[in-house]
Amino acid sequence: MTFNLNSEEHSAAVLEVQKKAGYHFQNQALLMEALTHPSYAAELPQQPAKQNQRLEFFGDAVLQIILSKYLFVSLPEAQEGTLTRMRSYLANEAATADYARRLGLDKVLLLGKGECTTGGRERTSIQGDAFEAFLGAVTLDGGYAAARALALSLIPPLDVVAEKLVLEENPKGALQEFCQSHRLPRLNYELLSKTGPVHSPTFTVRVTVGNRELSRAIGPNHKQAEREAAILAYNALEAELAKSLASATVVLDFDGVLCDSVRECCASAWKAARTIWPDLFEAEMPDEETYTRFRQVRPFLETGFEGILLLKMVKEDQPILEYEQNLKEHFQRILYQWELTEEQLRKLYGDTRDRWIQEDFDGWLAMHSFYPGVISALFRARVNGCRVYISTTKQERFVQALLKRAGVDFPPENIHGLDRKEKKEVLLLRLCQDQERTLYFVEDRLKTLQRVAETPGLEEVSLHFATWGYITRHDQENVRQLSRIHPVSLTEFTRRFGNDVAHSK
C-alpha cells in the first residue's frame, strides 16, 4: 500500500509534476482540486475539499476534442472508422493512466485511507481519471492551447498507434514485419502441447527467433495460442528496443530526417530565379504543382543554390531520367547559355534567402514542417534518458527557432550546425569516447553514411539510412548492398523513440 506523501514531500512532488507537464499553474487551488480523489474529500467533513470528478468530466471532453482535431488534420485520407479507433486507443483507460504515470500524478494524488490500503494508487481507472482532471484544470487555468500542448506531448506517434491497431488485428503479420525490418533470424511458431479434455483442450505455443525463445502462450485452439504468443513476442522485442535506446546517444540529421524543408527550398530558389528569368517565373511564389514537382527532384540537390537550376529544368519539363543520368550536364548547359557561374548563383540564393528571413522570419519558418510523429518521439526520447544531438548544415539559430515553434525546448549545446564548421564525423568521434552508451547516427544522405563508415574510430557507430528523406532511387537500391548501413522507415524510427509509451489496451 502507498499512503499520501507528507506536506513537504507532496509540495516538491507537485512542482515536479508541473515541470514534467511543461506547465505551471497560476491557480494552485485548481491544481489541488484536480489532485483530490473523492475518497480523500469524503474523509474531511470538517474541512470540505473540492474533489476532482467535475474536472474529470470536463477534461475527458477536452481530450476528445484535442484528439479529434489532431487526427482529422493529421490524417486527411483516413476514414471515420479509422479515426474513431485511433481516438479510442489514445483516450482509453490504459492510455490516460499511462499519461498520468509519466507525469507523476499517481504519486501526488490525494486518496482516502481506504483507497490507499486497497491499492487505489496503482488502479488504472483512478490514474486515468486523475489525468483527465489534470487536463481539465490546465484548460481552465491556461486555456485550450496549453491543454493541447500537454496532451500532444504525451501521445505516441500516429504511426505507432496505427501499428498497435494492426497488432491487435493481425499480430502474426505485425511480428513478421517487425522481425524482417530489424533483420532478425527466422521466426518460428512451435506447438509445445495440447492438454485437457477433447471438448475443451488447451494449446501451448512457443515463439522463437533463431534459437532464442521470445514468448509462450496458451489458448483454447492452436490459432488463438499463436495469436497470443505473437503479441507477447512483439511487445518483448519492443521493450528491448526501448531499453537499449534509454542508454543510447543518437545523432540526427535535421533536414530530411526531422524537418521537411522542401517548400522553403523551392520558394527560396523561386524568388532567386525570378531575378534571372522574370518572364518564366512571373508569380511571386510557386504554385502547388511546382512544389509537387520540386519535391520529386529535391533528392538530386546537393547544395541550396542548385535549386535555381532544378527549377529551370522543371520549367523545361525535363523527364525524371534526365535528373538521374545527366544532371551535371544540364547544370553546365544552363550556366553556359545564360552566362552564369556557380558562385553568382550561390550568392544570389544566399542573399535572397537572407532578405526573406530579415523581412518575414515567421513566414520563412512557416515554410518548414516536421515529419509525422518525429516531434513527439523526439520529446519522449529525451524524457526517457536518451541523449539526442542534431548535426546539420543549417545555422543553429534556425534549428532552435524551428524546434521552439514546434514546442520543443531543445538544449542549444546539442545542436551542431553550420556555425561550428565541423564535419559530422568529428562530432561522432567525440561522442564515441563515452564507451558506456551505444551511438546511433541517422542520416538521409547515403554518401555521408558511407564516409562515416570508412572513418577510423567509428567502427562501432550504428548507422541508419532514413528512407523517408531526400533519397534517390539509386540510393534505395545501393543501400541494400551495404551491410554496415541499415535502412530505417519513418514508422520504425518513431516506434523506436516511442516504445516506452506504446501502451496496450
Q: What is the pLDDT of residue 118?
A: 83
Q: Could you tell me if residue 1 is inside a domain?
A: no
Q: What is the pLDDT of residue 349?
A: 95
Element (H, E) at 251: strand 248-252
Is residue 405 located within the same domain as residue 439? yes
Number of structural domains the chain divides into: 4
Q: Which residue has the higher pLDDT, 248 or 64?
A: 64
Q: Could you tell me if residue 211 is inside a domain?
A: yes
Is residue 53 located within the same domain as residue 77? yes
Residue 493 domain boundaries: 248-258+368-501
Is residue 90 located within the same domain as residue 236? no
Categorize the per-residue pLDDT at 201 as very low, low, confident or very high, splitting at 50, 70 and 90: very high
Q: Name the percent of the chain lying above pLDDT 70.
A: 94
Q: Per-residue pLDDT tens for 75-107?
A: 888 889 889 999 999 999 999 999 999 999 998
CB 273 within 8 A of CB 313: no
Is residue 200 located within the same domain as residue 329? no
Is residue 54 located within the same domain as residue 147? yes
pLDDT at 312 over 70: yes
Q: What is the pLDDT of residue 48?
A: 63
* Mean pLDDT calculated for residue range 215-244: 89
Q: What is the pLDDT of residue 383?
A: 67
DSSP letter (8 states) at residue 255: B
Q: Could you tell me if residue 36 is inside a domain?
A: yes
Q: What is the pLDDT of residue 56?
A: 96
Where residue 43 sits, what CATH number does that domain have?
1.10.1520.10
Domain boundary among 362, 383, 402: 362
Is residue 252 located within the same domain as residue 234? no
Q: Could you tell me if residue 485 is inside a domain?
A: yes
Domain boundary among 181, 209, 241: 241
Instruction: Give the span between the Cα atoms of 486 and 442, in whole angstroms.
Output: 10
Where residue 379 sits, what CATH number does that domain have?
3.40.50.1000
Active site residue 60: yes
β-pair type (202-209, 212-219): antiparallel
Active site residue 132: yes
Q: What is the pLDDT of residue 2?
A: 60
pLDDT at 289 over 80: yes
Domain boundary among 241, 270, 294: 241
Model's pTM, two decimal places?
A: 0.60
pLDDT at 1 over 50: no
Is residue 426 located within the same domain as residue 473? yes
Instruction: Give the span between the Cα atoms of 106 and 121, in whole angstroms.
Output: 6
Is residue 422 located within the same domain as residue 346? no
* Mean pLDDT calculated for residue range 145-171: 84
Is residue 358 located within the same domain as residue 374? no
pLDDT at 498 over 80: no
Q: Find all residues with CB under 8 Å of 103, minimum gap 6, and list them.
A: 17, 20, 21, 131, 134, 154
Q: Name the percent of the chain lying above pLDDT 90.
A: 60
Categorize the per-residue pLDDT at 215 as very low, low, confident or very high, splitting at 50, 70 and 90: very high
Q: Which residue has the higher pLDDT, 98 or 437?
A: 98
91-95 long-range contacts, CB within 8 A, separation 24+: 91/60, 91/63, 91/64, 91/67, 92/505, 93/124, 93/125, 93/128, 94/124, 94/128, 94/503, 94/504, 94/505, 95/128, 95/155, 95/503
Q: Could you tell me if residue 12 is inside a domain?
A: yes
* Mean pLDDT calculated for residue range 331-360: 95
Give the per-residue SS3 of 151-214.
Answer: HHHHCCCHHHHHHHHHHHHCHHHHHHHHHHHCCCCCEEEEEEEEECCCCCCEEEEEEEECCEEE
Of 278, 441, 448, 468, residue with least CA distance to 373: 468
Is residue 147 located within the same domain as residue 23? yes
Q: Catalytic residue among 56, 106, 129, 132, which?
A: 132
Q: Catalytic residue among 60, 129, 159, 444, which?
A: 60
Is residue 254 located within the same domain as residue 320? no
Q: Could you tell me if residue 2 is inside a domain?
A: no
Element (H, E) at 415: strand 415-416
Is residue 80 located within the same domain as residue 226? no
Q: What is the pLDDT of residue 502?
A: 32
pLDDT at 39 over 80: yes
pLDDT at 245 over 70: no
Sheet holding 187-195, edge to edge: 187-195, 202-209, 212-219
